[in-house]
Each structure stands twice: as C-alpha cells, then as structure tokens.
Amino acid sequence: MRVAVAVGVSTPPVATMRSSCTRRIVAVSYRFVSMHMAAAPLSRTLSTESVAARLTSAGLLRTKGLIGANWTDARDGKTMPVYNPSTGEVIADVPFMGSKDTEDAISSAYDAFPAWSKLTATERSQLLRKWYDLLMANKEEIGQLITLEQGKPLKEAIGEVNYGASFIEYFAEEAKRIYGDIIPPTLNDRRILVLKQPIGVIAAITPWNFPLAMITRKVGPALACGCTAVIKPSELTPFTALAAVELALQAGIPPGVLNVVMGDAPAIGDALMANTRVRKITFTGSTAVGKKLMAGAAGTVKKVSLELGGNAPCIIFDDADLDVAVKGTLGSKFRNSGQTCVCANRILVQDGIYDKFAAAFSKAVQILQVGDGFSEGASQGPLINDAAIEKVTLLLIYIELKGADVLLGGKRHSLGRTFYEPTVLGNISSDMIVSREEVFGPVAPLMRFKTEEEAISIANDTNAGLAAYIFTTNVQRSWRVTEALEYGLVGVNEGVISTEVAPFGGVKQSGLGREGSKYGMDEYLEMKYVCLGDMNRK
C-alpha cells in the first residue's frame, strides 16, 4: 500500500474573479462588518501523515476496491490520488476502476445473493448489529478518516459516525419486522397472501458530503432485507467507505454481500445501469446526475430511489422566538460548512423581525471558528475542492452585481486554499441566482417578506422540494404553513432534523423514495401476491 503524505500538492489557483464591481458593505448599527473571523491557526494537532499512519496501523486505511473477499486494484492498474481538502496533500492513491471492474463487482454481489437472502432475519440482524458495534468501537478512527478526506471538523465527523452507524443499528432491528400480509379473499375457495422478498443486487452511488452516512442509510436496509450491494462512493471520499466495509467483513458479513468500486464514475454508472442483474439503483447526489441515472435505469426497468439536491427555505415569522430562530437557522445553514442537501438555502425573514434577526444571526455567525478539521475549536472546515470555492466565489460576484448587501464575510478566508468566510447576505430577492441554485457553501442569504402567503409562495417557487424550516410560536400557523409547503421534510422551530427513525427524502426534483425509518425498508423489497386456490377440498 502506498501512502503518499505531506506531498504538498497545491491546487490550481482560483482565477482572480473578484470583478471590478464595487462591493456594497452596508453600514449598520450592529457591528459585524469588516470582520476578522476567529480563525484557528493552520498548525494542526494532527497531520495528514500521523492520521494516515494511525489508521493504517488500525487496518482502517484501505486503499483498494473490494470485490468479494479480495481487496483489488483496477484491472488496468490505473490509480487516482485522494486529497486532504484542508491541505491539498495526497492521502493515498486508490484504484481508478471502470466498467470491467464493475462487472466483476456485480457478479460477486449476484453470487452472494442466494446465501445471504436465505439467512434468517435473526441471523442477518445479528451480523448487522455486530457491524454497528464495530463502527461504534472505531468511531474515533472513522471520524478521523472523514475529517482527513472530507474536511469537516472532527467533532462533527464523529457525529456523522454516530449518525451513520445508527442506520445499521436501526435496520438490524427492522430486519426482524419484514411482515407480509393476509388479505380476506373474494372467493371462498381462495386464500390471498402477500410476501415481501429482497429485490436482489442493488447499486448504491453516494456523494462526498457524508462519506459514511449516505452509504449506511442505503446498505443498512438493503442488507436487512436480504439484498447484496455494489457501492460506488465519491472519488473524493473513498476511504471512509472502504473502512466501513472492512469493519463489515470483520463483523462476519460474508464476502460478496458488500462490494466497492470507485474511479471512472460515468463508466461505472453506465455498467451498473446496463446490467440486468442489478435490480435497483439508489443514488444520493446532484439532481443532474440523478436524472441521468434515472434515464439509464429505464433500459432495464430498475427500481430507482434518488436523494437529490435541495433549495431549502427557512422562514422566520415575526412571532418567532429570536434565540430559537437564530440557533436553528445557524445549525441548518452552517453544518458541514453549508455543504448539505438540507442546508437552509434561502432565509426568508418577516419585515417586523428582519433587523433584529439579521443582527443576532450575524453576531452568531461571526463567532464561528474557521480552521482545519483537526484544529481545536474549529466548527467550519474547508470546502471540498477548488470547484466548490469557485462556485461560491462566482455566486458572490453575481449577487453583489445585482445589489445584494454583504453583511458579513463575503470572501475567501485568510487561511487560503478552499476556506471561505462564513457569510451573511442581505437584500436578497427571489430572482437572484443564490435563491434559484443550491449554494453548497457557508453563505446565508436573507430575504425580506411581508405576509405568510408571500412566504409560502416564495418557498414553493422552486423545482426542489427536500427540506424546509419554519420558526414561529403560533401553533395554528405552524400547521398551516407546514401543510402548504411542497417539501418532503419540514423542521418547525428546529434546524437539524435528520434521524434514522424518520423518513428522509424529497418531492419534485429533489428525489424519489425515502431513506431511514420503517419506510426505508420498502425501497429494497418486492411484494409477491400469492393466491391459494381449491382451498375447500377436504
């Protein structure tokens, strides 16, 4: 295994994009302009090298794909580097796999299916429970791996391990509750039954922003139902996936039940879509790729579930509790430096509370500490890569040109690389690009509204429909607005709402299907109607 560390690979410079537009820094009574973020120094408590060495000795820095029982290179020997987004250092190389490797992985999952699906629910449940125990026993190490390759602060990364592992625990329990049905027959010589059976081999394609949880949310229920899987993690964050499946093997989950390929995403995707042995595709990622996969799945009529991008409105009504609204909005917007699908993307604030909220929210944002995920006290890590920071930088240029106010931040952080200042924008309108697109960065746009009807209309004026948040102390309003919002998830006076026990998923172009909860099982099961005839014979 080659672990290339401290190479100091520098990412290409972001083009100097600050245009000649005059930045509007608004003079306000509260003091949050021209601020200096409380930046943690880049001198980190843990270096890429020391974390990599520790994880290697724990056997958790796996650098090959997994096909059956074999940790494998790409057939053609190609590799790709994986970077620490905070420093630009190469953590290690992994195989750059393609369609042939994917075919191998599908065959492996297909061959493992009969034995795995024939285990009793109790046996599968016990193996999943052991996997959960191992994930929890190694949560520090997995958390470090997440910070190393994804960048989020270590505390938040360990939080993701708890969250990710919770799906394995929950679905270990649900494995025992796959009930069928007996239906009263329409003819007296018949009996009508419904069986629920595993769908078969599934393909799980996952993004970089939750390198563990987006995998466990899929394979937890899949394995509980008796399916086997080919996992394709993001090329940006493969190590967490590989460590997780290493622990699955250690737990006794048989080889072939979980397989991991990574590398040439379109080639892998095409191979998965074209193969008739793959009976289901479950994808989390961008809406654009989700649509492509949905079209690809049509050729073999696979079952499809999609968890796609959001454009979450966060509505603060005049009657909101200010502290609750600030805390909830902060939690929703700045988690993972704004890089989640459920991050508040448009913060709609009613006229009467706008100034008070803008001041209190900006004050809270101001104290967020930016730094390497391993540095003490950092709550805002780097963005994932140059493309992410370029996107945020360009968005800022566009909206400043359109007349938005920069209340706080608004530029790359002095730490450089892909660090961006937590930013608050005012005077945003619903036609601005920041209101139309998922920002996926630490930028909080505030928009003023007058009436409840106006807020609902702005909130629903998007093709996305994943998460929405409302802050109000009026119970009737909370019901009225919740019912009117065209979203799959609604947080009322709460900004962080994901949990393994509730159904997660979007409406409109944010996706199809639900993950987590008892409903998450249905995505991996087929119903079989059985009719018993001639039942009056003696």
Interface with ligand NAP (CB under 6 A):
205-210, 214, 232, 234-236, 265-266, 269, 284-286, 289, 292-293, 307-310, 341, 438, 466, 506, 511
User: What are the distances in angstroms from CA 209 to CA 171, 240, 384?
Assistant: 22, 11, 8
In the complex, the smallest distance separating the C-beta of residue 203 from ligand NAP, rounded to whole angstroms, is 9
Do residues 507 and 486 touch, judged by C-beta distance below 8 A?
yes
Q: Which is nearer to ligand NAP, 147 or 287 (CB)?
A: 287
Residue number, 40 or 293, with CB nearest to ligand NAP: 293
Q: In whole angstroms, how close is the CB of 262 to ligand NAP at the nearest point?
A: 6
Nearer to ligand NAP among residue 206 and residue 275 (C-beta): 206
Nearer to ligand NAP, 329 or 336 (CB): 336
Reduce the DSSP state of residue 350 to 3 states and report it: strand
CB of 206 to ligand NAP, least distance (A): 6
| CA–CA dist 143, 138 (Å, integer) | 8
Q: Please report the beta strands in 430-496, taking only residues with DSSP state E, as ranges in sequence order.
A: 443-449, 467-471, 489-492
- Please say which residue, 42 or 294, places its beta carbon nearer to ligand NAP: 294
Task: Output 206 or 366, the one with its CB closest to ligand NAP.
Answer: 206
386 and 352 in contact (C-beta within 8 Å)?
A: no
Q: Which is the catalytic residue, given 103, 149, 156, 307? A: 307
**Cα separation of the two ends of the chain:** 69
Comparing every residue's Cβ against ligand NAP, the nearest one is 269
C-alpha distances (whole Å) from 178 to each of 41, 69, 120, 268 are 52, 29, 11, 32
Q: Name the token pair of 281.
A: 């595709």
**Is 307 noted as a catalytic residue in this protein?**
yes
Rounded to whole angstroms, the Cα distance separating 46 from 27 reads: 40
The minimum distance between CB 1 and ligand NAP, in angstroms, equals 21
Of 498, 135, 203, 183, the C-alpha closest to 332 is: 498
Instruction: State the nearest-atom distance from the C-beta of 140 to ligand NAP, in Å.
Output: 24
Q: At its nearest, how many Å lie between ligand NAP and the CB of residue 458?
A: 20
- Of 142, 131, 102, 116, whose CA–CA distance to 232 is shortest? 102
DSSP H helical ranges for 20-98: 48-57
> What residues does 94 pair with on adjacent strands?
80
Q: Which residues are catalytic?
A: 307
